[in-house]
Structure 1
C-alpha cells in the first residue's frame, strides 16, 4: 500500500513538472511555478504548441539560455536580476519575448542594466556629429544626394557624378588627398583673416588719415592737412581682407551649390556665421566707397567682430572640437547649476563685504556700493583676484576668505562631470574609428529566429500548426540589400522567370534569378512560398500560379547556390517588397 502511494505521488510530481529546452540547455521546474506570473508566454504552455516535442516531452525555444536562467529565477523568487555577461538590448529583447516587463529589474542591478541606454544615446549623438572619415559607397552617395532612382537605372548625369565629389572636396577634409589640400587652404585663410583682423588695430599698423581741408585765406587756396587724431589700418590689410573674403565667398557658393540638402546647409549655425562675416566685409567696403562721409562710422566696424567667429569653421576639420562642443551641450544642466550657485554666492558675499567694510571707519573704503561689491565677489569666487578692490578691515578680510573658499568649491564640483562627459564621447569616438563601417551582416536578426506574431495571450492559438521552430528551414543570408522589390505576376512549376528587382518607389530593373524548385509552407499567419534547390526540398512540389493574388503571402526566393535569400511582402500594384 505504501509503495502504491509513493508511485502515485511520483506520478503526480512528474505530471506537474515541465521541461524547458532553451538553446540546448534543459531546465526543469513545476507548472505551478510558471503560473506565478500570469499573462506571460511560460504561463500559457500547452502540449498543442508547436514548441512541444512529444518524443522528448519538452518545450524547445531557440533563445538565449543565460538570460532564461534569470527569467526562470524570476518565476521562482519574484526578483528579476540582470546578468552582467549579456548586452542590455539583448536582455530587453529576451524579456519582451517571454512577456516580462524590463522595469521589474531589481534596484541593485538597475544601474548596470541601464548603462546600455546611455551608450546608445552617446552613439546616436556621435552619429549626428558625422565623424566618419571612411569614404561612402556610390549607392550611399546616390541616396544622400537624392538621385538614387537614376543610379538604379544607370542614367546618372555628369553633374550628378561630380556633385558629390565637389561636396566631399570642400566639406569632408579627410575624404581624399585633394580634400585635405583644400582643407589646409581653408584653414590658412581663416588664420590669416583672424591675424589680420587683430593686427590692424595695433598702433604701429595704422597710418594717419590725410584729408583735404579748405584753408580760408585771402586767395582761398587749399592745403593738405595731416589729421593725427584719426588713423586707418595700413592698405596692406585691405588687400589681405580682399583675398581672404574672395576665398570665403567662393567656398560658400561652391558648398551651397553642391550641398545635398540646401535647407539644412542654410540653417547651419556655422554657415550662418560664415555668411554674416563675409557679408560684413562687403557692407563695410560699400560704405567706405559710397558713404565715407558718415560720422561715427566706426560703430559699423564693430559688427565686423563677427569675423572672429570664423574660428568655429575649424570644427569641420577637427573631431576633437566637435566632441568638445558636444560635451558642453551634454553638460548644460551642470553648467546651469554652476552659474546659479555662482550668482547666488556673488550676491551674498557682495552684500556681506559691503556691510563688513562699513562696520569700521575706513576712509579708503573701496566698497561704496553693493554693485561694486558684485564685481569684487565675481573675480574672487572665480579665483582671478585683480586686486583693484580689496577689503581693508578684519571682518571684510574674513568675508573675502570665505568668498574665495566658496568659489573654489562651487567651481570644482561640476568639473568632474564635464570631464567625464568628454572622456565618454572621446572614448566612444576612438572605438568607433576602429570599427569597420562596412560590416557585412550575413543574416539579419529578424531572420535568425522564427516570428511569433500576435500578443502573448494568443500564442497558444497562433502556434497550433506547423513544425517546431528548431526544425524550420534555415535562412542563409540576404540577397542584394539594395534590391528590395520583386514583381512577378505568375510563377509556375520549374519556371525560371526574370524577376523585376528594384526599390518600391522606382521603376523595376530586370534581373534573372535561377530557380530549381518551389515549396509551399502553410501556417495560420502567413503563406510562404520558399524557392530552394531541389536537393533540399522536403515536400512535394505543387504548381504555384498567380502568387500576387493573395494579400497574406510572403515570397522568399533563395538562389540555387544557397548564397542568399530575398524575402518580399505584397505591396501595391501586385508587387512584392522587402
Structure 2
C-alpha cells in the first residue's frame, strides 16, 4: 500500500510522509541527514530531527518523494532563509523568527513543515500575533475604502444601462473617479453645511415668525422654549431653502438606490441608515405642518413633536461627507478595530464609578444636601472620572474628599490608557490606508495603460487590414499591367 493510500485510510500526516515505521538499513548507515532547501544544503543529525516526531522532517526516509538516492539528500524547493529558523527549532526547542518577516509567510512555512504554531517562543509571539491582527485590519480597511468597479467598455453581455449605472454610481460614491465627481462632492458638502446652518438658525427668535395656525396643546406661560415651538414657525425663506435641500437629498438618495450594485449592502451602511432616518421623518413633519389646526388631533400633534427630533439625524448627516476623507474613514475603522479594548476600559470605568459612587454616598450620609442617593453618587463619580467636573455636587466631609481624590486619579489613569491605544492604532491604520489607496490608484493607472495599449493594438490591426484591402485592389491592376508588358514584342532601336 502506498503512502497516499495509507493517508486516505486514516494514516494521517505521518502516513503521508513515512511508509515504514522503521528506517531502512541504507539510512541507518548515516548519522547525519543532508537537506537541500532551494539549492542550499543543510546537514544535521538524525537524532535532532527526531525530537519532534510528528513533523515533516522527522518522518523523512529513503522512500520519501523528496529523497535523491544519487546525492543521498532530500530536496525541498523552499526558502532557505526561512528554513534556518525551522532547523534551529529542532536543535534548540524554541521557534524564533526575525522581525522582518510577515505573519502569513511564517504561518505558510510552519504549515508546510508540519510545525504547530504553539511552538513559537513567547518573545516572538507578540509580533507574530500582531501580523495576523494587521490582516484583520486590512480587511476592514478594504471594506471601508472599497470603490465601485470601473465600467468595462465593450464587455460582452453588458448593456448600456448597466454601464451607465456603474458610471453614475462611481460618480456619486467616488470623488476621485473624475474631476466632475470631485466638483460634485464639494457641492454636496456645501449643501450639507447649508442644511446644518438652516437647522441652527431656524431655532433663533429673529428667524421665526408668528405661526399661521398657533398650537395650544401645552400652552405653557413660563417655558419660553415651548412658547417658541407652539406660537411661532420658521421664516418662509428658511422653510423654502429647507424644502429645496430636502428635495436634493431625497433625489440623490433615490438615485443612489437605483444605481447601487448591491441594495442589501447599501441599506446596511450606517450613513445610509442615518440618511433614511433624516429624510422620511422630515417629509412627514412637513406634510403634517401643512394641515390646518393639526394640533386638534392628538395623534398628528404628537407625531409632529416626536418626528421633529429627526433634525438630530439631519445634523448627523455630516458624517456622510466623511466618506470622501481618508482620515475620518480610518477613525471609524480604528474605533471598530479597538472595540474590544474600549469596551474593557468602559467596563472598568463603570465598575469604578459604581464603587466610588456608593463609597461617597456612605461617606456623605450625614449631609442631607449632598448625594441624596447612590445613583447621584454614581453620576458624580462618572463626571469626576472623565475629568469633566460640573461642580453641581461635591463632598463635604474629609473622607468624602479622599474618595473624590482617588476617583479623579483612577479616572485620569483609565482615560490615559485609552488615548494611546486609539492614537497608535489610528497611526498604524492610516499608513495602511494610504498604501491601499496608492495600490488602488496604481491599479486604475494600469487599467488605463492596458486600455490605451489595447486601443493602439486595434489601430495597428485596422491599419494592417486597410493595407491588405489596398493591396487587394492594386494587385489586379499590377497583374494586368504585367501581362500586357509580357505580351508586347520587344522593339529594337
What's the TM-score once normalised by structure 1's chain length? 0.63
Residue-by-residue CA offset, 1:6-49 (whole Å, 9 max, x unaligned):
xxxxx999733322221121111233433333343333434455
Q: Which has the higher contact order (CA 8 A, sep 6+)?
A: 1
Matching of residue 206 in structure 1 with residue 213 in structure 2 = no
Residue-by-residue CA offset, 1:274-316 (whole Å, 9 max, x unaligned):
1221112211111112354325544442234322221221232
SS of 1:388's partner is: coil
* 1:33 aligned residue: 48
SS of 1:26's partner is: strand
Looking at structure 2, the residues matched to 395 and 46 of structure 1 have their Cα atoms a distance apart, in angstroms, of 77
Distance apart, 1:358 and its partner CA: 4.2
Looking at structure 1, the residues matched to 407 and 65 of structure 2 have their Cα atoms a distance apart, in angstroms, of 74
* 1:172 aligned residue: 174
Contact 1:67-1:83 within 8 A present in 2 as well: no
For residues 37 and 401 of structure 1, do their structure 2 counterparts lie closer, same or farther at Cα, with a shift above 3 Å needed?
closer
Contact 2:358-2:377 within 8 A present in 1 as well: yes
SS of 1:185's partner is: helix
Q: 2:75 aligns with which of 60, 81, 94?
A: 60
Q: 2:426 aligns with which of 397, 413, 422?
A: 422
* 1:197 aligned residue: 199
SS of 2:175's partner is: coil
Q: Mapping of 1:129-148 within 5 angstroms?
A: 129-130=144-145, 136-139=149-152
Looking at structure 1, the residues matched to 167 and 322 of structure 2 have their Cα atoms a distance apart, in angstroms, of 21
Looking at structure 1, the residues matched to 168 and 316 of structure 2 have their Cα atoms a distance apart, in angstroms, of 25
* 2:473 aligned residue: none
Distance apart, 1:439 and its partner CA: 6.6
* 1:162 aligned residue: 164
Q: Mapping of 1:79-90 within 5 angstroms?
A: 79-90=94-105
Q: 1:402 aligns with which of 400, 406, 410?
A: 406
Residue-by-residue CA offset, 1:505-546 (whole Å, 9 max, x unaligned):
xxxxxxxxxxxxxxxxxxxxxxxxxxxxxxxxxxxxxxxxxx
Looking at structure 2, the residues matched to 138 and 210 of structure 1 have their Cα atoms a distance apart, in angstroms, of 53
* 1:231 aligned residue: 232
* 1:288 aligned residue: 289
Contact 1:35-1:43 within 8 A present in 2 as well: yes
Distance apart, 1:168 and its partner CA: 0.7
Q: Mapping of 1:106-117 within 5 angstroms?
A: 106-117=121-132
Looking at structure 2, the residues matched to 245 and 383 of structure 1 have their Cα atoms a distance apart, in angstroms, of 40
* 2:331 aligned residue: 324
* 1:261 aligned residue: 262
* 1:70 aligned residue: 85
Distance apart, 1:136 and its partner CA: 4.6
Structure 1 gap segments, 5+ residues each: 1-10, 143-149, 214-226, 441-578
Q: Mapping of 1:420-569 within 5 angstroms?
A: 420-435=424-439
Contact 2:208-2:234 within 8 A present in 1 as well: yes
Looking at structure 2, the residues matched to 54 and 124 of structure 1 have their Cα atoms a distance apart, in angstroms, of 47
What's the TM-score once normalised by structure 2's chain length? 0.73
For residues 78 and 395 of structure 1, do their structure 2 counterparts lie closer, same or farther at Cα, with a shift above 3 Å needed?
closer
Contact 2:151-2:163 within 8 A present in 1 as well: no
Looking at structure 2, the residues matched to 67 and 422 of structure 1 have their Cα atoms a distance apart, in angstroms, of 32
For residues 400 and 157 of structure 1, do their structure 2 counterparts lie closer, same or farther at Cα, with a shift above 3 Å needed?
same
* 2:318 aligned residue: 311
For residues 368 and 212 of structure 1, do their structure 2 counterparts lie closer, same or farther at Cα, with a shift above 3 Å needed?
closer
For residues 80 and 292 of structure 1, do their structure 2 counterparts lie closer, same or farther at Cα, with a shift above 3 Å needed?
same
* Structure richer in helix, relative to its length: 2
Distance apart, 1:257 and its partner CA: 0.8
Q: Mapping of 1:345-356 within 5 angstroms?
A: 345-356=352-363
* 2:184 aligned residue: 182
Looking at structure 1, the residues matched to 307 and 43 of structure 2 have their Cα atoms a distance apart, in angstroms, of 83
SS of 1:18's partner is: strand
**Aligned residue-pair number:** 401
* 1:562 aligned residue: none
* 1:242 aligned residue: 243
Contact 1:131-1:319 within 8 A present in 2 as well: no
Structure 2 gap segments, 5+ residues each: 1-25, 216-226, 445-493
Looking at structure 2, the residues matched to 124 and 429 of structure 1 have their Cα atoms a distance apart, in angstroms, of 11
SS of 1:367's partner is: coil
Looking at structure 2, the residues matched to 438 and 90 of structure 1 have their Cα atoms a distance apart, in angstroms, of 24
SS of 2:101's partner is: coil
Q: Mapping of 1:372-411 within 5 angstroms?
A: 372-411=376-415
* 2:253 aligned residue: 252
Distance apart, 1:111 and its partner CA: 1.8
Residue-by-residue CA offset, 1:433-485 (whole Å, 9 max, x unaligned):
33466679xxxxxxxxxxxxxxxxxxxxxxxxxxxxxxxxxxxxxxxxxxxxx
Looking at structure 1, the residues matched to 260 and 440 of structure 2 have their Cα atoms a distance apart, in angstroms, of 26
* 1:544 aligned residue: none
Alignment RMSD: 3.0
SS of 1:60's partner is: strand
